Structure 1
Amino acid sequence: MVNGAPGSAWASLRSIDDDAVVLGSAADDERMPLTPAHLFDLASLTKTFTTVAALRLVDAGLLGLDEPVRSFVPVGSEADGVTLRQLLTHTSGLPAEGRMWRTGLTGEELRSAVLRSPLVASAGSVHRYSDVGFIAVGEIVERVSGRALDAHVAEIAGLLGASSVTWQPSADLAVATERQPHRGLVRGEVHDELAHALGRPAGHAGLFGTVEDVAALARMIRDDGVGAGGRVLSADGIRLMTTPAATADAGYGQALGLRVRDAAWMGGADAVGHTGFTGTAFAVSRSGAFGVLLTNRVHPTREGTDLSAARREFFSFLG
C-alpha cells in the first residue's frame, strides 16, 4: 500500500497547483520509479470518452438523444424503444455486465451476444450502471459515423491535447494491474475481462492514459467544451454531461456519462466526474477546480481493497 492507496502506483494532479505528483513504481516488484509518462488502465473513464464521441455526433445532427437506437444496434426488443439518452444515463434497463465471456465466447461472436442482451428492467424505469449499455453506445458511434471508435477517440484526444491516450499501450510504460489466474500479471493489456475478450476497442473500458491526459479531459469539461486544440463539444453537450438527468439509489445524480455529487468518493464536493475499477478517478467542481487521481488499486489483487476513503480525502479540496 502506497500513501493510503492499494497497489504500487499513484499519480495525481490538482488544478490549484496543476503539477502532477507521481509516487511508487509501475509494479510492486519493479525498482524503477513511476514517471508522468506512465500509462494507467483508465477502466471506466473510457465511458467519458465514449460519451464525448456520441455527443459530438449529436452536435453534428447525426444522432438524436431520444430516438430509439434499434435501427443501429439490436438493444432489447422492438417494443422496448431504448434511446441514446437512456444508454448514456444508465437507465436503459440493460444488465450491468456481459458475462458471456465466462463461457469462452470471444471477438465478434461475443460482441453480438452482448449487444443482444435482453433488458432486465423496462427502459427508463430504473438507474442501473451498465457496461453493456456503453458497449452499445460505442457500436452506435461506429455505425452512424462509419468510423471505428478508436478513430473518434484519437480525434478527441488530439483536440484535448491528450497525446498519450491509447488502446494499445507499450508494456514498458504501462502500469501493472492484477495477477489473474488465467492471464498472469496483466500489464500493457486491458484489465477488464469483457473488454479483453472482445479483442477490439469497446465503449465501456480499455483506454490507457497518463495523469496529464485525464487532466486535459477535465479541463475541457471545465472550459465548456473547449480543449487545448479547439472545440470538442458544444456548451449544450457539456450541460448534458454535467446536469443530472436521473437519480441513482445511492443518492448521486446521473448526467449523460458523468456522476454528479457522488458523496461516496467525492465527499461533499459539488462536482461531476467518474471512477474506474482499476483505481482511477477525476472530478470537476462547479467552481472550476478539478482533480485527477490514478492508482492501480487492483495490483497485485483486487481482494480487500477499498479506495473510497483515499478518494474522498484527495477530492476534499474541491469543497
Structure 2
Amino acid sequence: MERSIDDGSLEATLTRGMNEGTYPGAVAAIGSADGIERIAVVGERDPERGKAMTRGTTFDVASLTKPVVTATTTLSLLEAGEITLSDELRRHVPNLDGHRRGGIRLLELVTHSSGFQPYSFSEEWSSVEDVLNGLRNRSILEAEPGSRSEYSCLNFVYLAAALRGATERSLGELAEQHVFGPAGMKDSSLGPLSDTGNVAATYDHDYRDRILRGEIHDPLGWAMDGESGNAGLFTTMDDLARFARAYLAADGTLLSAATVERMQDDWLPGLDTRHSLGWRLADETYPAPNWSRVGLGHTGYTGTSLWLDHDRDRFAILLTNQVYDGKGTGLIRFRERFHAMVAAGRFD
C-alpha cells in the first residue's frame, strides 16, 4: 500500500526533513544486534548532477571517524596490551618530550579532557608531518589536562599519532586490522576515494569553495590524507550497521564485553559533560530526552550520526549530506526528533 508522507514511517520522517530543507538527501537505518529492522532512503546524493541517494551510497562521515576508527582501534590495542590509557603522549610521540603537551595521557585525549583548543589549521599544511610540526609550534593547550571538558579534533589528531608511534603502522592499516576486517565493513576506508561513482557530495564552504566528491571535507583530514584520526572515514549505511551490530553484541568481534560495559560509564564524573571513551553519553536532550542514559553516540560535521543503546539493544544510523547546503538548515532539531521517535518505537 502506498504511504502518505504524513504517516509514521521512517521514510516519511526523512522526507519531511528533506522537504523542510534540512538536507538534500538521507539514508537511515534502525536495528539491533540481530540485524537491520528499518531502512529508508530519500533525496539526492549529488544535487548538481541530479543523482539519487541509494542504500549503498558512500558518505564522508567526518567525526564519526573518532569513535568508529580511532577510539575502537585504541581500545583494541589496549586489550592487546600494546598501549595503556595512562600512557603519556611523549611515550609514543617522542618529539613531544620536553613539551607540556607531551605529558597528556591517552585517557585525556579519548575523553576530550586534554585542555586543547577545539581546532587549529593552516592552509599551508599538506601532509602528516606538516600538521604535526605546525601544531607543535602553536600554543594550543589552553587548560591543565584533566581540568575541563572541551571537544577538540586535536585530541584525535594526537591520539592517531600515538597509535602510529606505538605500532609503527598507518592508521589506515590499523583500521583495517582492528575495525573494518573484524566487523566485515567491506565498503569502508580512510579517504580520499578513487571510486566516486556513488558518493554523497559535500561542499567546502570555508577553504576550497567547491563541491567535493570523495575528497575529505575536514581540513585536517584533507591535509593528512586520511591519517588525522578526527575525520576521513568513508563508509556506507550497511557497513555502519555491521559495526553497530558488533558493538551491541559485545562478543569480542570488535571489543570484549568487559570493555564495552565500562564504556557505558561516565569517564568525566567531575566535569560538566558526561563522556565515554571516544563516545558521547546520552544526556538531557542529546540525542533525545527518552534515550537511555548509557547510550553511546557521535555526530559528524557533514550531517551524520550513529547512536547505540546496549540497555535496549538498539542502534540508529542517520546519514545525510547536509553540509552541501551549509550548517544552518536545522539538522540538530531534526536529529532530536528522529532519535525520540526511535527510542519510542514510533516507526511502523
Report the TM-score when normalising by structure 1.
Answer: 0.90
SS at match of 1:12: strand
Q: Distance in 2 between matches of 1:313 and 1:56?
A: 34
* Superimposed CA distance per residue, residues 36-87 of structure 1 (whole angstroms, 9 cap, x where no aligned partner): 1111111000001100111111111111111222121228835862111110
Q: Are 1:210 and 2:236 matched, yes or no?
A: yes
Q: Which residue of 2 aligns with 1:311?
A: 335
Q: How many Å apart are 1:194 and its aligned residue? A: 2.0
The one-letter code matched in structure 2 to 1:43 is A
Q: Which residue of 1 aligns with 2:186?
A: 163
Between Structure 1 and Structure 2, whose CA radius of gyration is higher?
2
Q: Distance in 1 between matches of 2:141 and 2:213?
A: 34
Q: Are 1:94 and 2:111 matched, yes or no?
A: no
The one-letter code matched in structure 2 to 1:253 is R
Q: How many Å apart are 1:199 and its aligned residue? A: 2.9
SS at match of 1:63: coil
Q: 1:122 to 1:201 in 2, by over 3 A?
A: same
SS at match of 2:160: helix
Q: Which residue of 2 aligns with 1:43?
A: 62
Q: Distance in 2 between matches of 1:79 and 1:139?
A: 13
Q: Distance in 2 between matches of 1:236 and 1:112?
A: 38
Q: Are 1:300 and 2:325 matched, yes or no?
A: yes
Which of 269, 289, 299 does residue 275 from structure 1 map onto? 299
Q: How many Å apart are 1:140 and its aligned residue? A: 1.0
Q: Distance in 2 between matches of 1:116 and 1:220?
A: 40
Report the TM-score when normalising by structure 2.
Answer: 0.83
Q: How many Å apart are 1:115 and its aligned residue? A: 5.1
SS at match of 2:322: coil
Q: 1:2 to 1:202 in 2, by over 3 A?
A: same
* Superimposed CA distance per residue, residues 204-232 of structure 1 (whole angstroms, 9 cap, x where no aligned partner): 00111111111222222211154xxxx22
Q: Which residue of 2 aligns with 1:15?
A: 31
Question: Which 5+ residue runs of structure 1 have no aligned equivalent?
Answer: none
Q: Distance in 1 between matches of 2:278 and 2:210?
A: 32
Q: Distance in 1 between matches of 2:242 and 2:225?
A: 27
Work out whether residues 127 and 247 of structure 1, in 8 Å CA contact, stay in contact via their aligned partners in 2. Answer: no
**Higher mean displacement: 4-13 or 42-51:** 4-13
Q: Distance in 2 between matches of 1:67 and 1:12?
A: 38
Q: Are 1:266 and 2:287 matched, yes or no?
A: yes
Q: How many residues align?
A: 311
The one-letter code matched in structure 2 to 1:57 is L
Q: Which residue of 1 aligns with 2:13?
A: none
Q: Which residue of 2 aligns with 1:244?
A: 266
Which of 179, 194, 197 does residue 172 from structure 1 map onto? 197
Q: How many Å apart are 1:123 and its aligned residue? A: 0.6
Q: 1:3 to 1:69 in 2, by over 3 A?
A: same
Work out whether residues 226 and 233 of structure 2, in 8 Å CA contact, stay in contact via their aligned partners in 1. Answer: no
Q: Distance in 2 between matches of 1:79 and 1:294?
A: 35
**Higher mean displacement: 186-195 or 15-24:** 15-24
Q: Distance in 2 between matches of 1:141 and 1:239?
A: 23
Work out whether residues 282 and 290 of structure 1, in 8 Å CA contact, stay in contact via their aligned partners in 2. Answer: yes
Q: Distance in 2 between matches of 1:262 and 1:218?
A: 20
Which of 222, 226, 229 does residue 196 from structure 1 map onto? 222
* Superimposed CA distance per residue, residues 128-153 of structure 1 (whole angstroms, 9 cap, x where no aligned partner): 11111101111111111111100111
Q: Distance in 2 between matches of 1:43 and 1:28?
A: 20
Question: Which 5+ residue runs of structure 2 have no aligned equivalent?
Answer: 1-16
Which of 228, 248, 257 does residue 278 from structure 2 map onto? 257
Aligned-residue Cα RMSD (Å) equals 2.3
Q: How many Å apart are 1:27 and its aligned residue? A: 1.5
Work out whether residues 39 and 210 of structure 1, in 8 Å CA contact, stay in contact via their aligned partners in 2. Answer: yes
The one-letter code matched in structure 2 to 1:308 is I
Q: Distance in 2 between matches of 1:79 and 1:106?
A: 23
Q: Are 1:109 and 2:130 matched, yes or no?
A: yes
Q: Distance in 2 between matches of 1:225 and 1:175?
A: 32
Q: 1:39 to 1:299 in 2, by over 3 A?
A: same
Work out whether residues 8 and 28 of structure 1, in 8 Å CA contact, stay in contact via their aligned partners in 2. Answer: yes
Q: How many Å apart are 1:18 and its aligned residue? A: 2.3
SS at match of 1:23: strand
SS at match of 1:178: strand
Identity of aligned pairs, percent?
27
Q: How many Å apart are 1:90 and its aligned residue? A: 0.3
